[in-house]
Structures are given as C-alpha cells and as structure tokens.
Amino acid sequence: MAYTNGNLALQPKRKQKVQQQQKPQKQQQVVQEARRTVVVKRTLPLKEKLLYMVTIIAVVLVMGAVIYRYAEVYQMKFEVMQLTKEQSKMNADIEDLQKQVETLKDPKRIADFSQDKLGYKPTDAEEDNVIKVTKPSDNETGLATKD
C-alpha cells in the first residue's frame, strides 16, 4: 500500500479478484472505481481582507504614536537632567564668587591695598570705624609730570 497524503483513512480501492462461479464460461469481474475528492481552500472575501489590513494599519499607527511619545518623554528627561547638572555647577560657581566678593569687600583689605599699592595715607580722624585716606600728590609718588 502506498502512503498518500498522510491520511490512512483514504486507501485506494483495489480491483477485486475474479470470482469464479459454477459456470466456467462466464467470468464476472467486479471493479470499483477510486473516487478522488478535491478539497479547494476557500479564500477570504475581499471585505474581510480589507478589514484585517485596516486593523493592522491602525494597530501599527497607534504603536508608532505611543513609541514616539515615549521617545519625547525620554528626551525631556535627559534635557532636565543636563539642566540640573548645569544648575548645580552654576550654584557652586556663585558660591565661590560670593566668597571672593566677601573677601574683596573687607575694609581692612581695602585699606591695606590702598596704602600699599596706591599710596594713599590715612588721616588722623578715626570716627566710627571710618578710615579716611588722602590721595598722595604726584610729587610724593615720584611720578614725573609733563610740562
């Protein structure tokens, strides 16, 4: 027996053996025909195909929109993180500059700087922690004047 299409229920029908009856002159031959059943796959109707295609396109568009929004949110989070880092660096710079301003505003440092570098001299009047200095004349500092 041959193996056909994997279905053992459909076995080809065989010719039956010639049966001999009592009369040897007439021989009867019984032959059974093999019938073939052809199975035609039914295709989907056009409307159903269009419905499936429109559904798939809609799902892809919705997924694309969701992914696009997640990408935007990620980009915003990244920018916020960068701005936060910049802000912390700027705050540290501001603190350093404020410390420099405090040291530069110190009256004792200003008086020392004006006396040592610029040549100003303090006056005798000491009133309420006010230091008065006078500008030296050009002759005292040794600067030559043009005449």
Q: Please write down the HEC assignment for all residues of 22-72.
A: CCCCCCECCCCCCCCCCCCCCCCCHHHHHHHHHHHHHHHHHHHHHHHHHHH
Query: Where do the structural domains in the chain lie, given as residue ranges?
Result: 46-117
pLDDT band at 42 (very low <50, low <70, confident <90, very high): confident
Statement: residue 66 has pLDDT above 50: yes
Is the separation of the CB atoms in 27 and 42 below 8 Å?
A: no
pTM for this structure? Answer: 0.44
CA pair distance 15, 1, nearest whole angstrom: 13
Q: Give the tokens for residue 101.
A: 């301003």
Of the candidates 102, 111, 117, the one whose C-alpha atom is nearest the C-alpha of residue 129 is 111
Tokens standing for 133? 């200095």
Q: How confident is the model at residue 147 (pLDDT cuts 50, 70, 90)?
A: very low
Task: Provide the pLDDT for residue 20.
Answer: 47
- pLDDT at site 44: 86
